[in-house]
Homo-oligomer: A and B are copies of this chain.
Amino acid sequence: MSTTETAPVDNGVNVEALLGARAALTEMPPAAAFTWKARCEWVRGTHSRTSIDGFFGLGEEQSHRQTFTIDTDHPEVFAADDNGATPVETALAALTGCLVGGVASVATHRGIQLRSVTATIEGDMDLQGILGIDPEVRNGFNGIRVSFDIDADATPEEKQALVAQSQKRSAVFDLITNPTAVVVSA
């Protein structure tokens, strides 16, 4: 065997640590109860800023290395200032981020070296919903399409299997394709 064939893949994912975490949480299910959090402040008009700095998990409060902020706004065609992606585009970014991160994790677990991964996403929406023009039209997307382009040491079938497994374990894919209860209080 050549050196190339035996070189371990390095996609930047620590699979051993993840498998260890899975083993630990299998032994202690309460530690797997996570609560993700964010706080959103209105800026002006439809512009707002959501800050993300910590979450609860492994039985205690956890901190991110830094506070992450995500600005959202409406575009100029809605007579707004376009100071951020729209909330629906942000939701699309959540899905692509989840699926692409998943592909990297699964590829590493399967010993597949990645060179590049790109996911393009489109979501169709009939604005007659959110504008209240037609009550039969839903507010959200009518459908979403994600297309992957993967450059890796893998066959087309292996690449398809990476994406399929990422989709199977994706929290955001589940969030979008299945209903979740949301309680809003004022």
Contacts and interface: CB of A to CB of B under 8 A. Distances in A.
Interface of A: 11-14, 17-18, 21-22, 25-26, 29, 32-42, 44-48, 50, 52, 55, 57-58, 62, 64-66, 68, 70-82, 84-101, 103-105, 114, 116-134, 138-148, 150, 156, 159-160, 162-164, 167, 169-186
A184 B99 contact: yes
Given A62-B75, A175-B140, A22 B148 contact: no
Contacts of A64: 75, 82, 85
Contact of A36 (B44, B58, B92, B99): B92
Which 4 A-B pairs rank lowest in CB-CB distance, beginning with the nearest? A72-B97, A12-B45, A17-B79, A40-B96
Majority DSSP secondary structure for residues of A touching B: mixed
One complex includes copies of this chain to the number of 2
Given A45-B11, A118-B39, A18 B101 contact: no
Given A77-B58, A125-B35, A140-B171, A41 B93 contact: no
Contact of A139 (B84, B140, B159, B170): B170
B87 A25 contact: no
8 contacts: A34-B126, A42-B103, A45-B101, A71-B97, A90-B93, A95-B182, A139-B171, A148-B184
